[in-house]
């Protein structure tokens, strides 16, 4: 969803230079997205039919500008496993949303379609704040 939002930004946006990656803390490489994920995103015009899962690696983290996790437990897992390789900018998606009631977005894996829609909508509510944060942080980096 972040890729989709950045694609819609003006061509001169510095965010266009970012590579947006998705990786999991407890997944196998090459697994397809669930049918409910595909359907929930298709409903809002995002096609993830070709998406394949991959496990997070130290190499990914070393190149990472911002690490966003769904849950605090994911962030803890990454910090425990990778220590110094975790970027300074590491948080849950909802930590950037001042309207969020908590910090976690639950993994809907195994849930029904409605749960996937709810998670999609929780993530969507965070996207404007993520974009604003990225713009600010990239501006700060370029001013150094």
Domain chopping of the chain, boundaries: 2-138
Contact 51, 32 (CB under 8 A): yes
Give how far Cα 7 sits from Cα of 12, 110, 116, Å: 11, 30, 23
Predicted local confidence at residue 96, as pLDDT: 94
Predicted local confidence at residue 26, as pLDDT: 86
Low-confidence spans in the chain with pLDDT less than 70: none
Helix (H, G, I), strand (E, B) or coil at 91: strand
Predicted local confidence at residue 27, as pLDDT: 87
Between CA 78 and CA 39 the distance in angstroms is 29
Q: Which helix (H) or strand (E) holds 68?
A: strand 67-69
For 2-138, CATH gives 3.40.50.2300
């Amino acid at each position: 969803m972040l890729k989709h939002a950045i694609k819609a930004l003006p061509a001169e946006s510095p965010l266009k230079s970012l590579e947006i990656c998705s990786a999991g803390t407890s997944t196998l490489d090459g697994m397809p997205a669930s049918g409910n994920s595909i359907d929930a995103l298709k409903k809002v015009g995002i096609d993830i039919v070709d998406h394949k899962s991959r496990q997070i690696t130290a190499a990914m983290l070393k190149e990472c500008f911002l690490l966003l996790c769904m849950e605090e437990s994911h962030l803890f897992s990454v910090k425990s496993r990778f220590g110094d390789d975790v970027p300074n900018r590491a948080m849950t998606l909802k930590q950037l949303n001042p309207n969020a009631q908590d910090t976690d977005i639950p993994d809907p894996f195994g849930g029904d379609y409605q749960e996937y829609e709810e998670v999609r909508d929780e993530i969507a509510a965070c996207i404007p704040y993520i974009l604003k944060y990225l713009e600010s942080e990239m501006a700060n980096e370029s001013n150094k």
